[in-house]
Structure 1
Amino acid sequence: MIRHAALPVAALALLAGCNKSGEINIERGVGITAVRSACPVVAVPAGTGDITVFDPPASRDANAIDVTAAISNVRSTCDDTGAEVVTNVTFDVRARRARAEGPREVVLPYFITIVRGGNAVVAKRVGRVAIQFEAGQAIASVSGQASANVSRAAATLPEEVRKKLTRKRKAGDEDAAVDPLTAPDVRQAVLSATFEALVGFQLTNDQLKYNAQR
């Protein structure tokens, strides 16, 4: 797997749920709590979850579609107990070919990219999955996996920001109903400490355009 630069994508990781290691309760008004974790959000960026291969490659005619495939069942486990937050991602690739005569192997590229603050790509790795079709078989699937490391220090909020987010407020206080994330400095600190691990097919510009226009 190799590291590359990449284009930005956006999201924000503030999730409701139960506390785990590395998580803090964020007080968002009286009686409203959110949970923030050092573990990155895992998702498939829009437009990269499926791929279409044409034969011949330059054609976009429906009769020229050779192979289609889609990513599904994206799952992740996260270990945030060390200096590096390690996220392991698994997913399924289900593919269909237009011509089923004879056995065939189809190799498709995929990526995992780490995004910080919703728009800054800090790392990208590219891998490949090999899908095996038996003779007469039109549909086949395979499992893929990828991993991502994020510095725990970078994913940890500064102490002064943590205090602002977790400060107890009572009904009747002047700022009781004010979301602390509306403060620009707090919002920026949360964004800077927020990471995403995004998985999708490594598409060419033409393939991205096809996905966007179909």
Structure 2
Amino acid sequence: MGTGADVLRALHHGRVAGDPLVLPGPWDAASARVFADAGFPALATPSAGISASLGYEDGEGTPPGEMFAAIRRITRAVDVPVTADVEAGYGLPPAELVERLLEAGAAGCNLEDSDPSAATLVDPVRQADRLAAVRAAAGTALVINARVDTYLRGPRTPAAAIDRALLYAAAGADCVYPILAPATHLTTIAEAVRVPLNALCKPGTPSPRELGALGATRVTFGGGLQAQALEAVRAMAAGMVG
């Protein structure tokens, strides 16, 4: 039987248009169990959702020890592979980052190409070198999803995203994630990069199935599901006060 990473990696391949891998984002063990019990074959933790649940701002405001502990509670609660959003890696050397992810039970990870201290894009060659070092340390034990932040930090064009995504794929990334890319850009990016493409689904954007038809192999939700759950709690609280 394959490892969690083997299972997760296989879920990215052989998919048809309109049938992307949909990965809900649990923020704690209880939400992870709900998603796994609903039949989702894998899960993807959101840094924003976990940070909010722990009382921190997103953007590496959560102490690494608390983030990895939260990931471990989630992986321990379910029997499906879990890929973890670890932002830009918390300044950890690649080997230590991989070690901590594996200790937490993660089958994969998101790594972004923003510099959290400056809110700017990292040099793409430098980021590709870091991804290659993570791949070398992990071997096949992690599915690496390389986030491309050009639509977040600019320039917001398919060409800019493709240039970075190609470098990251060549460095060993299993998947690329041009976060906030307009749905109309997904086909162009997917056709150019030729590795699985992650798209973000949020209110006001096409559905996961529609994103899949446009070229997304994998669909995630960032911290959106945790935010929706919190809105439901807020409404309950308002009703109790009223």
TM-score w.r.t. length of structure 2: 0.20
More strand by share: 1
Greater helix share, structure number: 2
- Compare relative contact order (CA 8 Å, sep 6+) and give the higher one, 1 or 2: 1
TM-score (normalised: structure 1): 0.22
